[in-house]
Structure 1
Amino acid sequence: MNQTFRVDLRGIVDLLSHHLYTSPQVYARELLQNAVDAITAAHGPDAAARKSGRIVISSADSTDSTGDGSLTVSDNGIGLSEVQVHELLATIGRSSKRDELGFARHEFLGQFGIGLLSCFMVSDSIEVTTRRADEPTVLWHGSSDGSYTVRPATSGEERAEPGTTVTLRPRPGCEHLLTRDAVTELVTHYGAHLPHTVTVDGVRITGGPAPWDRLENEDPAQRRARLEAYCERVFGFTPFDMVDLAAAEAGLRGVAFVLPMPANPAVPAAHRLYLKQMLLSEGAERLLPEWAFFVRCVADTAELRPTASREALYEDSLLENTRDTLGDGLRAWLVRLSRQDPARLREFLRVHHLGVKALALHDDEMLRLVTDFWPMETNVGPLTLAEFRERYGVLRFTPLVDEFRQLAPVAAAQGLAVVNAGYVYDAQIIDRLVTVDRELEAETLRAADLTTHLERLTAAEEQAIAPALAASDRVLARLGCDLLVRSFEPSGLPALYLLDDDTAFQVDLRGAAEQADDVWASILGSFQTTEDPRPRLVLNHRNALARQVLALDDAELRATCLEGLYVQALLLGHHPLRPTDTAVLNQSFLGLIGRAVAGGAR
């Protein structure tokens, strides 16, 4: 046996107020939406005809108020017949903006047939007085307990013209939401840019220009001043620049305001979005591509679909295409800036380089822009990749910041220019640049590679230090380090500690496995290589102190000095000290002091 669902209206209202809508204040938006849609149905899609639409709101403080705190919202829209009142107002989920009214669904703001229910969040009863064309006036009264009545209007209750009036009486605790100040603020917030005449207690709310409008006889300087004032008032900052946005497929017009300060790319950008000139959301996300976190925009759309709560956009192919189109507009602005005002582009990049670099990973034009205009850190001073390539030919870089700090001074002394590609996106940008430009020669310089650029000792020099070298090797082997002797600049640097990322990983694995139980040691062991990579301590044979240490006859003193040079190289390379290294630091420092004191006493 077929049966129909029974709906608990109080439960539905609770669901709306706690889970669909973020605040009971949205009742004002839904009443405006219904009035605007009624005007649209009455006057058709012609924008000029819609301007004759009127929405008259009387608050609880109005001189025409009945004194019971009620709010009325009247429009001169299409109105409803008695049959439509029964069919549409009393059926949850059936939208009154249906095709039978003569227009396609996308002409209307509301689509879900639940907007009027939001009024139950502030009122226990809703009264609707409506008249359609030559039909008689009908009164509908709905209660939050799920009951409703419909009757013809009596003398004195009729409407003089087609349209609808909605009357709300506040439920206990919601009186403040129906006062003049509250209603004026809410209606201004949601409907200030509507094309119709909207008044609250006789004061007009609409009529001012929208930010996306281009006014006649307004020169660029005046428009810029108007938009800057809007941005300061709404978003709270003076924009670095402004970019007009448009997406014809979505019927979208808008303005993007470029932030004058860095933005966190991990925090989604929130934009102010209108649907057919009525505020949809102050925090619309994913309207722009993720890389465009450096702008905040205000826009009006005619075609993008809202969610049921009308506080966000429905994710579909149209929104995806619109996002790409708006991203193209921002990209074109950056290209324009690079050609017309390079200095201003550099100023922009100093603040928002992360967004542009993210875009450069898959956009050739942005890749060129980053290559030509963004100065990267190198060991010969800040240089763009284009300047570095022009001066040094080979694009030599290191992908880790810590490694760059180790290598930078030594590489520079050997005449090797190196780019620090350890910051976000830099290494990927260089990799992509090599892919795009086949003539570009790039080379990764790692800590282990630097030794190939250092001068080897002569045969005579190696023979002279051979006895001490074997003993010194054993000292450093206890610290998990290999010893090399090379000649390099600067000669004032006695030792250099070289540890690349792969070796550091294997060293950490071994240390963790030694301290773990058998199960975890077995798991960690599966990640270890068969080789035994070790960091290297490179003694500088051009340094007098290093040569003197190797020439010491006292094996114990030589070991203490080597341990001191080892720890000093760690500190100079900004490497963290293990407990073993800290113990060696104390031991070598105190041992050398002890030797000095003993020598002084003699």
Structure 2
Amino acid sequence: MSSTIPPAEAAETPESPGGAGLPEPVASSFQVDLRGLVDLLSHHLYSSPRVYVRELLQNAVDAITARQAHDPGAVVRIRLSAGAGRVSIEDTGIGLTAAEAHSLLATIGRSSKRGGEHGLETTRQEFLGQFGIGLLACFVIARRIRVVTRSARDPQAAPVEWLATDDGSYTVRELPHEARPEPGTTVHLEARPGAEEWTVPAQVEQLARDYGSLLPYDITFRDTSDGAPDDAAAAPRPITDRPAVWDRPYPTPAARRTALAGHCARLFGFSPLDSIDLDLPVAGVRGVAYVLPEPTSPAHRSGHRVHLKGMLLTDQADNLLPDWAFFVRAVLDTDTLRPTASRENLYDDETLAAVREALGARIRTWLAELAASEPERLAAFLRVHHLGVKSLARHDAELLGLMLPWLPFETSDGSMSLEEFAAAHTDIHFTRTVEEFRQIAPIAAAHGLGVINAGYTYDADLLALLPAVRPGIKVTELDAGAVTDRLDPVPAEAELALTGFLSTARIRLEAQSCDVVLRAFQPVGVPALHLDDRQARQERDRVSAQESADSLWSGILGSLRGSAPRARLVLNHNNPLVRRIASIPDGELAGTAVESLYGQALLMAQRPLRPADSSLLNRAFLGLLEWATHSAGTEGTQK
């Protein structure tokens, strides 16, 4: 086959580029290697040979669309059949003349929908095909294509046979009138070796249902393979199933929900928690979103099912909904969104961006309606998908205010909503890590300190918005000073008696950039508490980097030293073990015991250990073992 460029279009300059006296350029035609082009389509444009069924259906539907524009009263139908390595499709569409068969079927890139002599530009928006590839895609599975067609625009024209093979050759001949009495087209495909699996009747029928169940014209399928039953079971089976399940009338809302749940189970393989209508008439979009019954990761991009004018475009559209709507799978039909060149995904342009925003607003409205009128359904939804709602609410203060009574948070008072927690605490503190929260939560609860675990995804962002939604509430990140101030001070005389021990403890932990304070707090079973904050961690990281840097960077890092607070080891004076350690007369042993308390507090906080911390833990452990074994040996000798 060749793609012809008319000479008048090939040379538009008024004079020869070679100058006066030189011969005029000769217009020629591009030559196209069909097998190379088919290989390109198979491996780089189309994701699978399965698309050939879509191309057959698409051409038939477009032919009927053109026929109805020409003759609104015409009877239209599409019949698909398969068997014995062959696939056929017959339509009562517009058909072609011999000249049109030469021009349109054998010229790559030319489409009858482009307007001009053979086109119907006034109805172009009704066509599915947009790129003029036509039957070429069928060569991904066929070694030969035979087209028998008769034009509805020229009733006197004879039927035409167009016969092409995958080596790039074709023939066109006129047939007797009885070969095709009515206008329309029949396409016969003969599978090439190795592609027979794509012509198995069950496979063809399933592909036709996937692609064409929502097409606007009646389509039937028949198994014509050898051995196929001839009784009523082999009668043509309907492929189309219209109207779409979301557009059908139902006696009650409950009946509609049941029907939609069944549709979701058949289509996606799960029973949804709920369904959300996605109806945007202005944008030409109609469909439904199904809420997943299990939690899913925010990083997961769901594949949505999109039909273009009834024809399945893709079941893996990941750019249809906002990223935060990862808790739904959608299926819809559109007549406005643009397909990519392969017609296997949506072109991401301004129109799609506007539709995506509108669909996101529809899901948001559904949440608001649940909160206002069906709190039980909302609670069931949030038990599974609170993460998705948090993702949305962090960009929408109004929605956050609406969801406050429902969104769960982990707090020092237990799991509860922000609304409940804010009612009990006007000063709210939060931790940025789960480990920090788990260490401080029991102590904060015992001393009336309101702390929220913001170590989970989106929680810190939502807490930052809380004062704007609930004026009068103060939200701050938890720091060592705030916790220490809430703990009970030790009587002055008791702390004075332990001055020597506290001095020893501070000296031993100076290398860890950690201060030591004495407080009395609950629960009694906690001997020591390691308190840290972001500024203290940044200062430790700076010191560590300074120690390992060369002289230039060491000087620069040294100049960055500020007055950032240091970490604190808070010793619990209520704990009997701490009091016994404080009374040890041996200063070296007391220092080793303090290092052990420091290591135990780090482990309880589940913080990553620095090399210096690991070294301290080893030293303290071995020191205590040496003291214990030495003491045991001394007692044995005395005995």
Equivalence for 1:119? 138
Aligned partners of 1:528, 1:580: CA distance in 2, in Å? 27
Aligned partners of 1:197 and 1:206 also within 8 Å: yes
Quick check: 1:403–1:446 contact (8 Å CA) kept in 2? no
In structure 2, relative to structure 1, the CA distance for the partners of 1:598 and 1:533 (3 Å cut) is: farther
Contact 1:197 1:204 in 2 (8 A): no
Give the direction of change, closer, same or farther, for the CA distance of 1:60–1:492 in structure 2 (3 Å limit): closer
| 1:584 correspondence with 2:619 | yes
Name 2:170's counterpart in structure 1: 148
Asked whether the equivalents of residues 261 and 271 of structure 2 are also in contact (C-alpha less than 8 Å), the reply is yes
Shift in CA distance, 52/282, structure 1 to aligned 2, threshold 3 Å: farther
Deviation at 1:122, TM superposition (A): 1.4
- Correspondence list, 1:98-113, <5 A: 98-99=114-115, 100-113=119-132
User: Which residue among 257, 263, 277 is the counterpart of 2:310?
Assistant: 277
Q: Which residue of 2 aligns with 1:44?
A: 69
Q: Distance in 2 between matches of 1:406 and 1:179?
A: 64
* Inter-CA distance 19–599: structure 2 relative to 1 (3 Å threshold): same
| Structure 1 residue 386 corresponds to structure 2 residue 408 | no
> One-letter code of the match for 2:461?
Q
Partner of 1:529: 561
1:355-504 equivalences in 2 (<5 Å): 355-504=388-537
3-state SS in 2 of match to 1:98 = coil
TM-score normalised by the chain length of structure 2 = 0.86
Match 2:148 to one of 108, 129, 142? 129
* Inter-partner Cα distance in structure 2 for 1:437 and 1:45: 65
Identity %, equivalent residues: 46
The offset of 1:448, in angstroms, is 4.4
Question: Is contact 1:360–1:366 with CA below 8 Å preserved after alignment?
Answer: yes
Q: Which moved more, 1:232-241 or 1:181-190?
A: 181-190
1:200 correspondence with 2:221: yes
Match of 2:52 in 1: 27
Aligned to 1:565: 597
AA aligned opposite 2:149: T
For residues 69-123 of structure 1, the C-alpha deviation after alignment (integer angstroms, 9 at most, x for no partner) is: 4332111111123333233222212222233324343211110011311111111
8 Å CA contact 2:337–2:346 kept in 1: the answer is yes
Residue deviations 1:496-551, cap 9 Å, x none? 1112233234434544554x574996599489634576422112234343234333
Is contact 2:596–2:617 with CA below 8 Å preserved after alignment?
no
* 1:130–1:138 CA contact under 8 A, matched in 2: yes
The answer as to 2:89 corresponding to 1:54 is no
Call closer, same or farther: CA 1:233–1:455 in 2, change over 3 Å: same
Q: Is this contact kept in 1: 2:77–2:219, CA < 8 A?
A: yes
* Cα separation, 2, equivalents of 1:394 and 1:383: 16
Cα distance in 1 between the residues matched to 2:576 and 2:98:
105
The corresponding residue for 1:65 is: none
Question: Given that residues 32 and 191 in structure 1 are in contact (C-alpha distance below 8 angstroms), is that contact kept between their aligned partners in structure 2?
Answer: yes
Match of 1:301 in 2: 334
Deviates more, 1:570-579 or 1:278-287: 570-579
Tell me, in whole angstroms, the C-alpha distance in 1 between the residues paired with 2:440 and 2:619: 24
- Tell me if structure 2 keeps the 8 A contact 1:59–1:183: yes
* Residues 250-270 of structure 1, C-alpha deviations (whole Å, 9 max, x = no match): 311111111110112212110
Is residue 358–residue 425 contact of structure 1 (8 Å, CA) maintained in 2?
yes
SS of the residue 1:594 aligns to: helix
Contact persistence 1:403–1:500 (CA under 8 A): no
2: distance between equivalents of 1:596 and 1:287? 73
Task: Indicate the larger mover: 586-595 or 72-81.
Answer: 586-595
In the alignment of these two chains, the number of paired residues is 591
CA, structure 1 residues 582+458, in 2 after alignment: closer, same or farther (shift >3 Å)?
A: closer
Q: Distance in 2 between matches of 1:392 and 1:316?
A: 47
Contact 1:40 1:50 in 2 (8 A): no
**Structure 1 residue 311, shift from structure 2 partner:** 0.8
Partner of 2:94: 78
The 1-side partners of 2:190 and 2:464 are apart by 67
| Aligned pairs (5 A) from 1:101-250 | 101-133=120-152, 134=155, 135-154=157-176, 156-157=178-179, 159-201=180-222, 202-216=235-249, 218-250=251-283
Task: Structure 2: state its 5+ residue gaps.
Answer: 1-24, 223-234
Q: 2:109 aligns with which of 89, 93, 110?
A: 93
**Distance in structure 2 (CA, Å) of the matches to 1:283 and 1:339:** 33
Asked if the contact 2:55–2:137 (Cα under 8 Å) also holds between the matched residues in 1, the reply is yes
Deviation at 1:34, TM superposition (A): 0.3
TM-aligned CA distance change 1:575 to 1:170, over 3 Å: closer
Q: CA deviation at 1:230?
A: 1.8
Stretches (4+) displaced over 6 A: none
What's the CA shift for 1:244? 1.4
Check 1:30–1:456 CA distance in 2 against 1; reply closer, same or farther (3 A cut). same
Between the aligned partners of 2:28 and 2:479, the Cα distance in structure 1 is 75
Return the alpha-carbon distance in structure 1 between the equivalents of residues 74 and 632 of structure 2: 98
Task: Find the aligned partners of 1:519 and 1:114 in 2 and give their Cα distance.
Answer: 68
Question: SS of 1:395's equivalent?
Answer: strand
Structure 1: distance between partners of 2:577 and 2:558: 43
CA RMSD of aligned residues (A): 2.7
> Normalization by structure 1: what TM-score?
0.91
Deviation at 1:290, TM superposition (A): 0.9
Aligned to 1:286: 319
Q: Which residue of 1 aligns with 2:632?
A: 597
Once the two structures are superposed, residues 333-352 of structure 1 have per-residue CA deviations (whole angstroms, 9 ceiling, x without a partner) of: 11111122222212211211
Give CA deviations for 1:549-596 in whole Å, capped at 9, x if unaligned: 333332123223222222222222223444213313422431453365
Distance 1:94 1:438, change over 3 A: farther
1:555 is aligned, of 563, 567, 587, to 587
| Structure 1: gaps (5+ residues) | 62-68
Deviation at 1:12, TM superposition (A): 0.9
Q: Secondary structure at the match of 2:324?
A: coil
> CA contact under 8 A between 1:448 and 1:499: conserved in structure 2?
no
Are the counterparts in 1 of residues 35 and 166 from structure 2 also a CA contact under 8 Å? Answer: yes
- Shift in CA distance, 175/415, structure 1 to aligned 2, threshold 3 Å: closer
Q: Which AA in structure 2 matches 1:175? A: E
| Partners of 1:51 and 1:195 within 8 A in 2 | no
- The residue matched to 2:584 in structure 1 has which SS? coil
Structure 2 counterpart of 1:182, one-letter code: Q
Instruction: Report the Cα distance in structure 2 between the residues aligned to 1:458 and 1:217, rounded to whole angstroms.
Output: 76
